[in-house]
Amino acid sequence: MPQSIEQATFHNSFVDELPGEASMDNRPRQVPGAAYSRVLPTPVRQPRLLAWSEELAAELGLSRPPEQGPAVDVLAGNLVTETMKPFAARYGGHQFGSWAGQLGDGRAMSLGELSAVDGSPREIQLKGAGPTPYSRRADGRAVLRSSVREFLCSEAMHWLGVPTTRALSLVTTGDLVVRDMFYSGNPQPEPGAIVARVAPTFVRFGNFQMMTAAGELDNLRTLADYVIRRYYPELGEPSAAVYVRWFEEICRRTAVMIAHWMTVGFVHGVMNTDNMSILGLTIDYGPYGWLEPYEPGWTPNTTDFSHHRYAFGQQPRVALWNLVQLGRALSPLVDNVEELNAGLDRYNTTLNETRRELYGRKLGLTSFTSAEDLALLEVLPEALADGVVDMTLFFRRLSHLAPTLITQPEQEEALLAELVRETSYVELGPIGQQHLLPWLRRYTARLRQETTDPDAIQTGMLAANPKYVLRNYLAQQAIEAAETGDLTLLNRLMQVLKAPFDEQPEHNELAAKRPEWAREKPGSATLSCSS
């Protein structure tokens, strides 16, 4: 039987098995020698449940709570039960390529772990629950706009099949939080909120970087052994050889995640090493965005506008750079540092293989290994950028066209022209079509070589090309409505995004191209790290 979260028994392996400090002192400071600091959430004035993931709750064996009460008090940080040992993790990281020293959970606190119905551990973490020793000059809070975005996108990515952390609940606090949304010298009070995030663990690359940078090699080994024994038991008991295999597996998982990002059009926006999960999960939904016009150089993060380090097309390279930094942090654990290069090679190989596999499904090609196929994939980004097409809409429409393109070649030119016209954000003349239309003709010729039934090809493509993603302007509209107390669009998006590959014709407008008014609108087109 499902139980309410305040009645659940929490486990505390991170606190029980790793070195930490238990002073409960939330003052910002350096915390040498610790993997975590014990903390207590700071109570909020009037917590109310705003959103709840029924499916994730079922996995955890939890029942939906009423709008207010003991369960919501837990989810807001107002109630800490006897089995919880809340903590904030200590970690460091490279931010925009520069070493930033100690960072840590500045506005997140983990309550402990629950055992899911299948027996696996799930850490429950409150984002926005108040200050910790790692908050630096901040207040440890989060605002409603960023919390809505994190809640919706965590669950949307899960239903798309992208490796990700999850979100259980969204609670408003009844308090106001002052934020300068674009660091423009114009701070404003905004409604506060707290998201309950869920993952097997929230350990990041930066946890290991911090210990190596501080010369805490015993703690480095203890943390590595904890992660291997608990989350990578198939590798065997920790040893120098196992550390090498472990790093290779982290590289593999990271590559799979990045390949998924690149084939659904997701832009993380702030791929610092402290925002990289040791499990290869998408973590920390801050200034993320979804490609609308296909622009490899696009980033939603205003903080990154000068260098575009974390732009869409840069994500595979940045992930590799981040893995190099992790490898350096783990190097004291291995006998021969050169052995770690196998992990970096595995990243490149897995990224290419997974990308080919995912694009093969998107394009309806059962075999995607010939030199001709690889050449077709190689020039695809340039073709999509040339057409300034809406990535999600383009592949969905192509899925519907595939059977006709196969069986009625005489209609090819008209169908391809219509596809480009319907999915592009610009009026295309001959110059603007110099790459996209020729690519589509080559692709159509290749598609006709398939021996699978055309209807079966279409079915497979529709299962690989989502109709619905969390478009930036839709998230912003849901935020603006929620700030007035209207949850209609928030609830609607929650339901639609659970079935992103289904037609759901009654929700067609949620699959439309970005409207012109949203092209430059703050929140719809640009965001910052402020929350």
The phi and psi torsions of 11 (rounded to 5 degrees) equal: -110, 160
Torsion of CA 118, 501, 288, 204, to 10 degrees: 20
Q: How many CB atoms lie within 10 A of CB 269?
A: 25
Query: Residue 5, Cα to own-chain centre: how many angstroms?
Result: 25
| Structural contact between residues 109 and 88, judged by C-beta atoms closer than 8 angstroms | yes
Q: How many CB atoms lie within 10 A of CB 371?
A: 7
CA atoms within 13 A on the CB side of 390: 24
| Structural contact between residues 311 and 267, judged by C-beta atoms closer than 8 angstroms | yes
Q: What is the CA radius of gyration of the chain?
A: 24
CA atoms within 13 A on the CB side of 260: 19
What SS3 class is residue 89?
A: strand
93: left (phi over 0), alpha (psi -120 to 50) or beta: left
Catalytic residue status for 118: no
| Structural contact between residues 230 and 256, judged by C-beta atoms closer than 8 angstroms | no
- Among 522, 513, 526, 401, smallest CA distance to 467 is for 513
Q: How many CB atoms lie within 10 A of CB 69?
A: 14
Q: Which of 73, 105, 225, 274 is catalytic?
A: 274
d(CA 488, CA 492): 6
E strands present in 62-202 = 87-89, 92-95, 98-102, 108-115, 121-127, 142-143, 166-179, 188-199
d(CA 162, CA 172): 27
Which residues, 6+ apart, have CB-to-CB distance to 427 below 8 Å? Answer: none
Residues 449-484 as b/e (b if ≥16 CB within 10 A, e otherwise) read: ebeeebeebbbbbbebbbbbbbbbbbbbbbbeebee
| Structural contact between residues 198 and 213, judged by C-beta atoms closer than 8 angstroms | no
| Structural contact between residues 385 and 295, judged by C-beta atoms closer than 8 angstroms | yes
Helix or strand (DSSP H, E) at 62: none
Alpha carbon distance, N-terminus to C-terminus of the chain: 37
Residue 373, exposed/middle/buried by CB under 10 A (0-12, 13-18, 19+)?
A: middle
d(CA 445, CA 434): 18
Q: Hey, which residues are catalytic here?
A: 274
